[in-house]
A and B are shown apart, each in its own frame.
Chain A
Amino acid sequence: MAWYLGSTYLLDRSTRALLPPPQDIVVAAWELAKSGDLWRHLRDSIKRELVAFLWATSAIPLGIAMGWWRAVDEQVDPIVEFLRPVPPLAWIPLSILWFGVGDTQNQFIIFLGCFFPILLNTIAGVRGVEPNLVRAARCLGAGERRILWRVVLRAALPQIVTGVRVGLGVGWMALVAAELVGANSGLGFLINDARTVLRTDYVIVGMATIGIVGLAIDRAIRALVARFMPWSLPAAR
C-alpha cells in the first residue's frame, strides 16, 4: 500500500522509473511471461541449480565417511575448513577464467554454495546418532555395512535434509550472483540486463521470481519430508 501510494503520488516522473508502482510490475510480469523470456530464463536458472545440486549431493557420502571414520575426518577436514570460509562469490573471477561464461561456470558457483552446508550437516548428523541405536543394531547382528546404510544414514537423515534445504537456498543465492556477471541467460542475467536499459519493472519481476522459486524449493522439500519421512515430523517444520 505504501509502495503504491509512494510511487504513484510522491515520486515525480523521473524518479518513478526507479520504483515503478505495483500495477506496472504486474504488467511487466505479464509481458515477460507472454513473450516467453521469463520462462526461458527461469528454466535455465533452475536447470543450473539442479545440475549443481546433483553434484553437491556427493557431500552426503563424504560427510558420512567423515562423521563415521576418524581417519577420513583427519585427512579431509583441514581441506574442507580451508575452502569453506571462502565465499562462493569469491570464486566467480577465477571460475570465469576456468570455465568461461556459461552453464559450467554458474554450476560450479552453485555447487560451492550447496556443497558445504550439506557436508557439515551430514557430518553433524552422523556424529549425533544415538550411540545406543548403533549398539542395538550391533547386538541384533548388523555388520558395519548394514549399520552405515540401515542405521547411521537413516538416523542422520533429518539433519541431512536440513543441510539440503540450506544448501539449495545458498546455492540459489549464489546462482543469481553468478548469473549477474557470468551468464547470457537466467534470472540473474535478466535482472542485470534490464538494469542496463533501466527497466526497473523487469528487475523487480526478476527479483520476485527469484524469491518465489526459493520459497517453492523450500516448500517442496518440506512436502517430501512429510510424505516420505513421517517419523521425523519435527524436521518438516
Chain B
Amino acid sequence: MSTVRIDKVSKVFPAQGVADEPVLALDEVTFEVADHEFCSLLGHSGCGKTTLLMLLAGFEQPTAGAIEVDGKPVGAPAWQRTVVFQDYALFPWMTVEENIAFGLEMKDVPAASRREVVARNVALVGLRGFERRYPRQLSGGMKQRVSIARALAVDPEVLLMDEPFAALDAQNRARMQEEMGRILASADPLERKTMVLVTHSIEEALLLSDHIVVLTRRPGRVKEEIRVDLPRPRSEDDPGFVALKRRIRDLIHDEYEIEA
C-alpha cells in the first residue's frame, strides 16, 4: 500500500541576491497518486515539476502544505522513496553490480541475498554480461538502466523519476520508453510500484501513465488531471492515444499563449 497524497503544497525559494525576488515555484498543488499507479507530472521546463519531485523524495521541505505517503508525512530521504535522476547519478567508482548493491548494503541486507537481488534486477533491465563494467564504459541508455535497477533493488514503496530519458538520443529514448512500457505491461498490476515520472514529453507521459497531472507554468499549479485507460502496451498510432495527445497539447499550448 503506497498512496501518495500531496495537499496544498507550496514552495518558495528565498531570494538569492539583494535585487532578487523570492520565487514561488509551486502554488497550492494538490493531487493524489493511488497505490500501484503510474503518475506523470507534465509541464514546461520551469514549471516546478522537478521541485515537486525533490519534495516527494524529501531532499527539500515544502514551504506550506503536506506530503504524505500512506498517511505518514514525508520527512528525510529514505529508501522507501528512491529517485532515478536525469544525469543517472551513478557512482563512477563502483561497477554496475556494486552500484545496484549500494542501497542493499545500506539496508544491511546479507551478502548472499544481495547477490540474488542484484542478479534479478540486472536481468530485469537487460544488463546481463555488463555487471563488472564501470559507468564510464557504458552508453547513456545503459547507465539509465543501471540507475533504474539501483532504485528498484531496495524495493521502494514509491519510485520517483526525474526526466529519466531526457538526456538520451532520440532512438535510445524511444527504446527505453518502449521497454519501460513492456515492463509495466508485463508486471502484475498489484506487484507494480507506485511511480511518479517527471517529463516534458506528452508522448512519454501517454505511453507510460495511468494518470497525468498537467502543471501550469511558474508558479506551478495543477491545471488538469487526466486518466489514461488505454490498454498496454500502448501504441502512438492508437486513435485514443492521438485524441488524448491532442487534448494535452492544447492544454499546454494555452499555457504558452498566456505566458507569451
Chain A interface residues (CB < 8 Å from chain B)? 130, 132-133, 135-143, 146, 150-151, 154-155, 157, 229-233
Contacting residues, chain B, for A136 (C-beta < 8 A): 83, 85, 89-91, 150
Interface of A is mostly: helix
**Distance of A162 from chain B, by nearest CB (Å):** 16
Do most interface residues of chain B lie in helix, strand or loop, or is the interface mixed? loop
CA distance A126 to B137 in the complex (A): 24
Contact of A139 with B106 in the complex, beta carbons under 8 Å: no
Known: A135-B57, A135-B83, A139-B82. Is A130-B89 also a contact (CB below 8 A)? yes
Note all chain B residues with C-beta closer than 8 A to A139: 57-59, 77-79, 81-83
Interface presence of B134 (CB below 8 A): yes
Task: Tell me whether A231 and B106 are in contact in the complex, defined as CB-CB below 8 angstroms, given that A136-B85, A140-B150 are known contacts.
Answer: no
Contact indicator A138/B87 (Cβ below 8 Å): no
> Is B92 located at the chain interface by the 8 A CB criterion?
yes
Bound-complex Cα distance A135 to B81 (A): 12
The yes or no answer to B72 lying at the interface (CB within 8 A) is: no
Contact yes or no, B89 A141, CB < 8 A: no
Interchain nearest-CB distance for B197 vs A (Å): 16
Interface string of B209-225 (1 = CB under 8 A from A): 00000000000000000
Contact digits for B81-107, partner A, Cβ 8 Å, 1 yes 0 no = 111010101111110000000110011
Contact of B79 among A140, A146, A229, A230 (CB under 8 A): A140
Instruction: Give the docked Cα–Cα distance between A140 and B83 (Å).
Output: 8
B136 at the interface (CB under 8 A from A): yes
Write out, one digit per residue, whether chain B residues 111-145 have a CB within 8 A of any chain A CB (1) or not (0).
Answer: 00000000000000000000000111000000000
Contact, CB under 8 Å: B154 / A132:
no
Residues 142 to 157 of chain B near chain A (Cβ within 8 Å): 150-151, 154
> Given A138-B59, A139-B83, A146-B106, A232–B78 Cβ distance below 8 Å?
no
Please give, as numbers and ranges, the residues of chain B lying within 8 Å of A132 by CB-CB distance.
85, 87, 89
| 13 further interface pairs, Cβ-Cβ under 8 Å (given A141-B79, A141-B106) | A133-B89, A133-B91, A136-B83, A136-B90, A138-B77, A139-B59, A140-B150, A140-B154, A142-B102, A231-B94, A231-B134, A232-B92, A233-B136
| Known pairs A230-B134, A231-B136; A140 contacts B91 (CB<8 A) | no
**Which chain B residue has the least Cβ–Cβ distance from A140?**
B103
Top 10 nearest A-B pairs (CB, nearest first) are A140-B103, A141-B106, A132-B89, A141-B79, A138-B77, A136-B89, A139-B77, A231-B134, A154-B93, A231-B93
Nearest chain B CB to A170's CB is how many angstroms away?
Answer: 27
Known A140-B154, A141-B107; judge A135-B89 contact (CB<8 A): yes
Chain A residues closer than 8 Å to B79, beta-carbon distance: 139-141
- A-B contacts, 19 of them at CB < 8 A, read A130-B87, A130-B89, A135-B57, A135-B85, A136-B90, A138-B76, A139-B81, A140-B103, A140-B151, A140-B154, A141-B107, A154-B93, A229-B93, A230-B134, A231-B92, A231-B135, A231-B136, A232-B92, A232-B93
